[in-house]
């Protein structure tokens, strides 16, 4: 149950243990659990830990490709993301898993961007004071921003304004990397806007 998955979250931080999990065909079981339609999302302790385990397993390229190729995995994760409460552990774990799956695949980054960007932009402003949540959100956004299509979508939202607000609103004493990630994402979008601007409009 949930406690077994929590144990797997910790065990799969080690390369050796990830290999053992794969050798015992546990990945198929985890994917089947993920795609069970009647498994409660927001109240399920199993569902809270499941994306974290899958995300850890995605540290290996071949495992990541195997998980990403399974029918319905990306769509299901995006659905869970949309249903999960903002600021929750479940949402953090889903963002981690999606970020891992996006690595190395522009098509997946674009698919995920279409589904999660509007929610992520709004919730970052609301929950930026929650360090773990804000960090998970910004790291996912930074990964998505490596696809031009997603940068275009981000620039059409209020993300730049929200990032500036978040940076100015974070109390002193919080983790420095929190500021760095927010500033890095803002700079990436500002650079994209400058590159996309017609030459005559550049100042």
Is a pLDDT exceeding 70 seen at residue 102? Answer: yes
pLDDT confidence band for 95 (50 / 70 / 90): very high
Tell me the longest C-alpha to C-alpha distance in the chain: 61
pLDDT more than 90, % of the chain: 45
Least confident of 12-16, 68-72, 179-183, 187-191: 12-16
Among 105, 103, 104, which residue's Cα sits nearest to residue 139?
103
Distance CA 149, CA 104 (A): 16
The answer to whether residue 173 scores a pLDDT higher than 70 is no
- pLDDT tier for residue 78 given thresholds of 50, 70 and 90: very high
Measured distance CA(111)–CA(3) in Å, rounded: 32
Q: Alpha-carbon distance 60 to 19, whole Å?
A: 9
Residue 201 is predicted with a pLDDT of 31
Distant-in-sequence, close-in-space partners of 107: CB < 8 Å, separation ≥ 6: none
| Position 203 pLDDT exceeds 80 | no
- What is the average pLDDT across 75-91? 94
Predicted pLDDT at 109: 97
What are the pLDDT digits (tens) for 154-172?
A: 988 888 888 888 878 776 6
Task: For residue 8, give Cα distances in angstroms to 12, 63, 89, 131.
Answer: 6, 16, 16, 24
pLDDT at site 172: 60
Confidence (pTM): 0.85
* 144 token code pair: 């998505």
Please determine, for residue 202, whether its predicted confidence score (pLDDT) is greater than 60: no
Instruction: State the pLDDT at residue 161.
Output: 87
| Predicted pLDDT at 181 | 82
Q: Is the Cα dihedral 20, 23, 24, 30 positive or negative? A: positive
> Radius of gyration (Cα) for the chain, nearest Å?
18
Q: pLDDT digit string (tens) for 111-128?
A: 999 999 999 999 998 998
Token reading at 18: 């990830």
Are 120 and 137 in contact by the 8 Å Cβ rule? The answer is yes
Q: What is the spatial distance between Cα 202 and Cα 94, in angstroms, rounded to a whole number? A: 39
């Amino acid at each position: 149950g949930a406690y077994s998955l929590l144990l797997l979250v910790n065990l799969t931080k080690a390369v050796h243990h990830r290999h053992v999990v794969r050798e015992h065909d546990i990945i198929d079981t985890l994917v089947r659990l993920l795609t069970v339609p009647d498994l409660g999302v927001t109240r399920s302790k199993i569902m809270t830990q499941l994306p974290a385990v899958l995300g850890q397993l995605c540290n290996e390229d071949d495992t990541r490709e195997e998980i990403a190729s399974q029918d319905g995995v990306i769509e299901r994760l995006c659905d869970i993301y949309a249903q999960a409460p903002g600021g929750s552990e479940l949402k953090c774990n889903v963002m981690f898993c999606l970020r891992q799956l996006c690595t190395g695949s522009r098509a997946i980054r674009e698919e995920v961007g279409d589904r999660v960007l509007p929610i992520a932009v709004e919730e970052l402003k609301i929950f930026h004071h929650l360090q773990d949540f804000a960090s998970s959100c910004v790291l996912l956004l930074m990964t998505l921003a490596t696809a031009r299509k997603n940068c275009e979508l981000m620039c059409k939202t209020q993300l730049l304004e929200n990032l500036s607000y978040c940076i100015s609103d974070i109390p002193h004493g919080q983790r420095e990397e929190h500021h760095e990630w927010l500033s890095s994402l803002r700079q990436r979008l500002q650079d994209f806007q400058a590159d996309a601007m017609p030459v005559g409009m550049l100042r």
